[in-house]
Amino acid sequence: MNSPHPLPVALFFPMEFEAEKVWKKIRGSARIENGFLTKTGDWWGTPVVSARIGMGHTGLVEKITTWLDSHPCRAVLLAGLAGALDPAWW
């Protein structure tokens, strides 16, 4: 069954340079939400919500959990350089 307003796909990027090219293609706005710079919009007709999450800092898991509680989504994609993402989140 298709929903007229499907949940967005969440895209996480550790660093600004990793997010830059994708963020330029997301039609929408960016602002700080739950401690992360977040961009919400549309990419090729798919609703997305994306955040630059940093990497390895204290309390990151708790901050991401809070962010996800505020942004229900149908999938979460982590994108970054090799070794830049914590495999414990998979």
The domains of the chain are located at: 9-77
* Per-state percent for the chain, helix, strand, coil, to nearest 5: 25, 35, 40
Write out the two tokens for 66: 């809070």
Rounded CA separation 49/73 (Å): 8
Could you read off the pLDDT tens digit of each residue along the chain, which spans 90 residues? 455 668 999 999 988 888 888 888 898 899 999 999 999 999 888 999 999 998 878 888 899 999 999 999 999 998 876 555 555 544
The per-residue pLDDT for 81 is: 66
What is the model's pTM?
0.79
